[in-house]
Amino acid sequence: MVKVKTAVLIVTYNNDKLASDSFKTLAATAMPGSDCSLTVCNNGPRPTDIVASPWYDQLATKFHPVTLINHLENRPLSEIYNTFLTDNSAERYIIFDDDSCIPDDFFTTLDRDYSSDPVIDLQLPLIYSLQDNSLNYPKINDVAVRKEGPVSTDQHIVSIGSGLVIYRSLLAAFDDRGIQPFDTRFALYGVDFSFFRRLALLKSYGVVLHIKTSSYLLHGLSAATGQIEAWREKERMYDHILSARYYSDNALIGNLKMIRYIIKYLLRGHTNLAWLSLLTWFRGHHPRSNVDISA
């Protein structure tokens, strides 16, 4: 199989011992001669050391180098992802959060599919829920893709951020048009979907994309738990309002969506979320994102 230089990122939060499913299962994966580096981004709130991970020794035998970055300020995921893609020289980039279960043959499958057809820009694993083993992503026109293989780019496709396999060719297409892959106006929710919205923007410019589904992940999908904490509902509000502003079909629809969200929050007695919705609409970005809203 073709040897592909690969850069892997794991983003973790509130995980001082670096002992989550992603570290455990990544340490157990088969690495068929791939040239892989690993960057671990600890996004706070306390500093840690890479050797704190009980799987550090196993990871260090498979990834060269293994690098830890401490961001104690809970930096926006969009900024972390874009910086990772810019600062690492590789042919292939893979992003994981810290609650994914990665199968042993994950890299073998990616390499096999790449070897059979190296004209590829993006690989997406099938995403199964850790809670009930249901298949959730990727979705084409809101229907979960059920098999591996080429994906038609004529349709609307989305997936989650964990497991994204991005090739240098796709980054070059973004760079040629002055577009960052992830929208830095988003910080947590909406960051992954902004990537796919920007894929659609590339297609509108006439860029031909080559996308495949390859391998799978088990993931602790937050939506599958049915439990919405107050902080999570606020973060989803930021996503809804910013998505309405920037990714609606037109300004009228965007404004109507924003008004609908505000009314919904008021009817539920969440006046704080209604006020924050209006503030977020006019501010134009997540409060942790220090960006020019024209970006």
Residue pair 94/181 in contact (Cβ under 8 Å)? The answer is: no
How far is the C-alpha of 106 from the C-alpha of 163, rounded, in Å?
A: 10
State the chain's mean pLDDT as an integer. Answer: 91
Q: Label residue 224 by pLDDT band (50, 70, 90).
A: very low
How far is the C-alpha of 108 from the C-alpha of 190, rounded, in Å?
A: 30
How far is the C-alpha of 218 from the C-alpha of 35, rounded, in Å?
A: 24
How far is the C-alpha of 6 from the C-alpha of 114, rounded, in Å?
A: 12
pLDDT in tens, 151-164: 988 888 999 999 99
**pTM, to two decimals:** 0.93
User: What pLDDT score does 118 carry?
Assistant: 83
User: What pLDDT score does 26 carry?
Assistant: 93
User: What pLDDT score does 53 carry?
Assistant: 82
How far is the C-alpha of 192 from the C-alpha of 76, rounded, in Å?
A: 12
Q: Label residue 205 by pLDDT band (50, 70, 90).
A: very high
pLDDT in tens, 96-148: 998 899 999 999 999 999 988 888 999 999 999 988 889 999 999 999 998 89
Inform me whether the pLDDT recorded for 36 exceeds 90: yes
Inform me whether the pLDDT recorded for 199 exceeds 90: yes
Least confident residue range of 13-22, 76-85, 100-109, 225-234: 225-234
Q: Label residue 33 by pLDDT band (50, 70, 90).
A: low
Q: Which residues of 198-224 are buried (b: 16+ CB within 10 A; e: fewer)?
A: bbeebeeeebebbbbbbbbbbbbbbee
How far is the C-alpha of 57 from the C-alpha of 161, rounded, in Å?
A: 27
